[in-house]
C-alpha cells in the first residue's frame, strides 16, 4: 500500500458518523450530456491553500486529481478561487465573476471562519449567505457549503459555535449540502488517527497537508457517489506512477 493510500484510509475513519451525501442534479446532467464536470471552489485561506507545503497540496488541486482518477472518461476541472482572509461578503461580491461566469455545475463555498473570529453579527452573516446561495441556485448550479474547521484552541473564539450554527441553519433552509469538516477533523483528532499538528499548523488555525488531503478525499467520495453511485475503495488509493 502506498503512503497516500494509507493516509486516505485514515481520512475515511468515522465516515459513517460524519457522512457527506450531497445531491447534485446539475452535475449529473452536465456529466451525462457533456462529459464535463466543472467545480469552482470559492473561499478564504482553506481554499487558497494557506499552510500547504506546495500549490498542488491545496484541497482543490488534490480534489481535481482524485476526480480525474475516479472519473477517467470525464473532463474534470476544479477552479481554485480562494483568497486568504476574505469574508463572506467579499466572496458575495465576486460570486458573479469568479463563480457564475465560469459556468460550473458545482460550487463549493468555504466561508464564515473570519466572521466567527471578528464577530460581525449573526443576522448580518445569515443575510449574506442567503444572497450568495440564492444567486448560485438561480444560475442552476449545485452548491456545497463547507463547515468551519475544528480548532485545537477554539476557546479563543467564544462565538465560534454560534456562527457554525448560522452556517448550518442557512444551508439547511436552502437545501444545500453541508460538508461536515468540523466534525470530521474533531473525530480524527479524538480517535488519535491524526495528531492535531497533522491537521492544523503551528499557528493553531491554518490547515496543513494531511488535513487538506483528507478534505479532498472525503469531498471526492461524496461527489463520486452522488454522480455514479460508486463507493470509495477502502483498500486502494492512487496507483503509483512508473
For 133-172, the pLDDT digits (tens) are 999 999 999 999 999 998 877 678 889 999 999 999 999 9
Residues of the chain with pLDDT under 70: 1-6, 154, 201-204, 233-242
pLDDT score for 236: 43
CA distance 128 to 90: 10
List the Cα angle 181/187/188 in 5-degree steps: 90
pLDDT score for 203: 65
CA distance 148 to 162: 11
Residue 27, in any domain of the structure: yes
pLDDT score for 127: 98
> Is 17:190 a contact under the CB 8 Å cutoff?
no
13 lies in which domain range?
3-227
CA distance 153 to 156: 6
pLDDT score for 202: 62
Residue 235, in any domain of the structure: no
The closest alpha carbon to 111, from 80, 79, 135, 145, belongs to 145
CA distance 226 to 53: 31
Structural domain total, the chain: 1
H/E segment holding residue 77? strand 75-82
Residue 237, in any domain of the structure: no
Residue 222, in any domain of the structure: yes
For cell 473570519, the residue is 114
CA distance 242 to 63: 22
pLDDT score for 3: 57
Residue 239, in any domain of the structure: no
CA distance 200 to 41: 20
Q: Which residues pair with 76 in a beta bridge?
A: 37
pLDDT score for 14: 81
Residue 87, in any domain of the structure: yes
The CATH number of whichever domain residue 60 belongs to comes to 3.40.50.1110
> Is 170:126 a contact under the CB 8 Å cutoff?
yes
> Is 182:168 a contact under the CB 8 Å cutoff?
no
Q: Which residues pair with 179 in a beta bridge?
A: 146
Residue 91, in any domain of the structure: yes
Q: Count other Cβ atoms within 10 Å, centred on residue 232.
A: 21
CA distance 130 to 170: 7
CA distance 95 to 81: 10
pLDDT score for 233: 60
Residue 18, in any domain of the structure: yes
Amino acid at each position: 500500500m502506498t503512503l497516500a493510500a494509507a493516509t486516505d484510509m485514515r481520512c475515511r475513519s468515522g465516515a459513517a458518523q460524519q457522512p457527506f451525501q450531497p445531491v447534485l442534479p446539475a452535475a449529473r446532467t452536465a456529466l451525462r450530456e457533456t462529459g464535463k464536470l466543472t467545480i469552482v471552489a470559492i473561499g478564504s485561506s482553506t481554499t487558497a491553500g494557506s499552510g500547504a507545503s506546495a500549490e498542488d497540496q491545496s484541497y482543490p488541486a488534490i480534489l481535481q486529481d482524485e476526480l480525474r482518477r475516479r472519473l477517467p472518461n470525464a473532463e474534470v476541472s476544479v477552479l481554485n478561487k480562494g483568497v486568504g482572509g476574505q469574508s463572506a461578503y467579499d466572496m458575495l461580491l465576486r460570486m458573479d465573476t469568479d463563480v457564475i461566469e465560469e459556468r460550473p455545475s458545482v460550487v463549493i463555498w468555504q466561508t464564515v471562519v473570519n466572521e466567527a473570529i471578528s464577530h460581525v453579527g449573526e443576522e448580518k452573516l445569515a443575510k449574506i449567505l442567503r444572497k450568495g446561495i440564492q444567486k448560485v441556485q438561480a444560475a442552476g448550479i449545485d452548491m456545497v457549503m463547507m463547515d468551519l474547521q475544528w480548532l485545537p484552541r477554539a476557546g479563543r473564539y467564544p462565538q465560534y459555535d454560534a456562527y457554525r450554527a448560522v452556517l448550518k441553519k442557512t444551508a439547511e433552509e436552502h437545501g444545500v449540502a453541508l460538508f461536515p469538516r468540523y466534525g470530521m477533523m474533531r473525530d480524527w483528532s479524538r480517535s488519535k488517527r491524526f495528531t492535531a499538528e497533522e491537521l492544523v499548523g503551528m499557528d493553531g488555525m491554518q490547515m496543513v497537508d494531511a488535513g487538506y488531503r483528507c478534505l479532498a478525499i472525503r469531498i471526492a467520495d461524496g461527489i463520486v457517489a452522488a454522480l455514479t453511485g460508486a463507493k470509495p475503495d477502502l483498500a486502494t488509493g492512487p496507483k503509483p506512477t512508473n
